[in-house]
């Protein structure tokens, strides 16, 4: 049953592959540089590789926005996102699946009464605005570089065609990798904390984590969607934006239904212009999913780029507009782009409302739990912890020895304290969360048998046998004191990968030790 409930997420993946993926790879086919079957095979393989090797960053961002902790809740979030996409397409407003998913997650947050990370939400919304602009700027730069280089060293038409085709092969691989790395969050982000997978040990040596299994199945659904649906889309497509006129004086129009092959646009572009459009949009997706670049930027004291799932449709539209502007487009219908802006506002709201009322139906009519209730306990050790991390506790004394049975009730109390920032309220809630854990002998044996950790990492756990914890941070603090292998490093970009991997280890412990005292 649990695996069946993953179907709504996989349907989103299939839809993404059938529609958005075409925006990235359509030009290679429309300009006759590559045949569709070869493009589909290359794309399918590299979509999966991108998701598995580089998808964790964008997934973590969505998880920070809202941690959907019950499988029926996850199913409903994905279902609501899919329905909102369908409705937007029916009324011919171009939208992206990332906007639908974000709206649906916020709907779950509201229904479950949990905290929505405002900083994460602001980060996501800002990328919606910045994606087409950045893509247009990159495309303009690439086109100008090409024009300057080509004039200096002209080559024969035969060589030009040969190198363009070879370039398209590598570009399709890069585009697919970028799409998988960035957009896997849209497919599985709502299932990370509820998926029914357990670690799989191979030859008692290699561990396939639940997250890896989820990413593989999610990326496979994208690949299948692209491979199957693109066969039918070869000669059809949308008109989210199209170019008319001649090569030297194009006209650019916006509007229509996004999310499928922009065949009308690409068939009117030269192969090199289509190449530049794909490269620019793929670089945007890559930049918003590449953790290594953030480490580099941080090391040289430059602003980092948020790891956020973005719309491939908006990226490719921005790239085409950028090329058109450089080439002297004289009739850009800006008024039609108001539809896109309208979609940015309406789509998340509709997804949020659909998710909220569907959750109500699933919980009260179908009698299925869509979220795990979270309790918050305030006592002296919680106040001591808050003091240790420099949280302003003025006014919190009224909460001492109180228990809140959901986040909504806690938020109501915290909102009375005007001096608290939103971030501080979220930290207070995290540290007050009541989560019972008991380290039994059997739980330690299970960890050892499944070979999750090396001896150095496992041995500190033995010192916890028969201990009981009421908060997650208690387990973190005591293990950090026992061994540096369990201690988080300073919160900065250079340590992001290490801390993320350590967090996964702790999540496993929370799951294995979750139990009241005997």
Residues 320 and 449 grouped into a single domain: no
Residues 417 and 446 grouped into a single domain: no
Yes or no: say if 316 and 24 are a contact pair by the CB < 8 Å rule. yes
Task: Indicate the residue among 412, 434, 456 that finishes a domain.
Answer: 434
pLDDT in tens, 158-199: 777 777 778 888 888 998 999 999 999 999 999 988 888 876
Residues 507 and 426 grouped into a single domain: no
Residues 108 and 26 grouped into a single domain: yes
pLDDT confidence of residue 247: 43
Q: How many CB atoms lie within 10 A of CB 179?
A: 32
Pull the structure tokens for residue 275. Answer: 């190449």
233 within a domain of the structure (yes/no): yes
- Structural domain boundaries, residue 474: 437-513
Pull the structure tokens for residue 188. Answer: 């599985």
42 within a domain of the structure (yes/no): yes
Residues 33 and 136 grouped into a single domain: yes
Residues 392 and 480 grouped into a single domain: no
Report the alpha-carbon distance of residue 352 to residue 480 in Å, rounded: 39
Yes or no: say if 120 and 61 are a contact pair by the CB < 8 Å rule. yes
pLDDT confidence of residue 236: 41
247 within a domain of the structure (yes/no): yes
Angle at 120 between CA 283 and CA 499, to 5 degrees: 80
* Number of domains present in the structure of the chain: 3
128 within a domain of the structure (yes/no): yes
The alpha carbon of 390 is separated from its chain's Cα centroid by a whole number of angstroms, namely 31
Sheet containing 433-434: which strands, arranged edge to edge?
A: 403-404, 375-377, 433-434
Extract the residue ranges of the chain whose pLDDT is less than 50.
234-264, 266-267
Those residues whose C-beta lies under 8 Å from the C-beta of residue 115, and which sit 6 or more positions away, are 109, 407, 411, 425, 426, 429
Strands (E), 210-342: 241-245, 250-254
> Which pTM was predicted?
0.81
430 within a domain of the structure (yes/no): yes
370 within a domain of the structure (yes/no): no
Residues 71 and 220 grouped into a single domain: yes
Instruction: Write down the H helix ranges in 202-260.
Output: 210-233
Pull the structure tokens for residue 58. Answer: 């964008």
Residues 94 and 124 grouped into a single domain: yes
Residues 116 and 174 grouped into a single domain: yes
- Angle formed by the axes of helices 472-482 and 496-513, nearest 10°: 120
Residues 109 and 258 grouped into a single domain: yes
pLDDT in tens, 63-94: 888 889 899 999 999 999 989 988 887 777 76
Residues 43 and 132 grouped into a single domain: yes
Q: How many CB atoms lie within 10 A of CB 137?
A: 15
């Amino acid at each position: 049953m649990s695996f069946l409930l993953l179907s709504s997420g996989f349907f989103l993946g299939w839809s993404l592959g059938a529609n958005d993926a075409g925006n990235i790879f359509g030009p290679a086919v429309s300009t006759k540089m590559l045949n569709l079957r070869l493009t589909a095979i290359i794309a399918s393989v590299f979509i999966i590789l991108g998701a598995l090797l580089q998808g964790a960053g964008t997934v973590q961002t969505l998880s920070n926005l809202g941690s959907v902790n019950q499988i029926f809740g996850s199913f409903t979030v994905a279902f609501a996102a899919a329905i909102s996409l369908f409705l937007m397409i029916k009324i011919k407003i171009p939208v992206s699946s990332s906007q639908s998913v974000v709206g649906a997650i916020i709907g779950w947050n509201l229904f479950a009464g949990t905290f929505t990370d405002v900083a994460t939400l602001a980060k996501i919304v800002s990328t919606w605005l910045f994606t087409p602009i950045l893509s247009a700027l990159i495309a303009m730069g690439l086109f100008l570089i090409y024009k300057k280089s080509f004039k200096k060293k002209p080559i024969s038409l035969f060589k030009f065609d040969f190198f363009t085709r070879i370039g398209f092969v590598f570009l399709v691989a890069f585009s697919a990798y970028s799409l998988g790395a960035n957009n896997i969050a849209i497919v599985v982000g709502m299932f990370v904390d509820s998926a029914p997978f357990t670690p799989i040990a191979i030859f008692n040596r290699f561990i396939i984590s639940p997250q890896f299994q989820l990413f593989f199945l999610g990326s496979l659904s994208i690949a299948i969607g692209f491979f199957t649906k693109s066969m039918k889309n070869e000669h059809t497509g949308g008109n989210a934006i199209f170019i008319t006129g001649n090569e030297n004086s194009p006209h650019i129009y916006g509007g229509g239904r996004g999310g499928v092959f922009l065949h009308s646009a690409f068939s009117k572009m030269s192969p090199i212009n289509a190449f530049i459009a794909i490269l620019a949009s793929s670089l945007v997706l890559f930049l918003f999913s590449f953790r290594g670049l953030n480490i580099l930027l941080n090391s040289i004291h430059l602003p980092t780029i948020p790891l956020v799932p973005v719309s491939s449709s908006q990226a490719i539209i921005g790239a085409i507009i950028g090329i058109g502007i450089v080439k002297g487009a004289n009739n850009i219908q800006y008024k039609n782009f108001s539809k896109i802006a309208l979609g940015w506002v309406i789509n998340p709201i509709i997804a949020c409302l659909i998710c909220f009322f569907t959750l109500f139906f699933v919980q009260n009519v179908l009698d299925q739990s869509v979220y795990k209730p979270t309790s918050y306990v305030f006592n002296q050790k919680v106040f001591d912890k808050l003091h240790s991390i420099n949280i302003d506790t003025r006014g919190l004394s009224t909460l001492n020895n109180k228990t809140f049975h959901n986040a909504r009730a806690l938020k109501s109390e915290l909102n009375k304290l005007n001096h608290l920032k939103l971030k501080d309220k979220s930290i207070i809630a995290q540290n007050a969360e009541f989560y019972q854990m008991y380290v039994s002998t059997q739980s330690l044996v299970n960890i050892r048998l499944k070979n999750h950790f090396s001896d150095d990492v496992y041995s500190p756990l033995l010192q916890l046998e028969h201990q009981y914890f009421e908060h997650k941070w208690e387990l973190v603090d005591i293990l950090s004191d026992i061994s540096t292998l369990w201690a988080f490093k300073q919160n900065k970009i250079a340590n992001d990968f290490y801390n993320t991997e350590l967090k996964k280890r702790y999540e496993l412990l929370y799951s294995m030790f979750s139990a009241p005292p005997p």
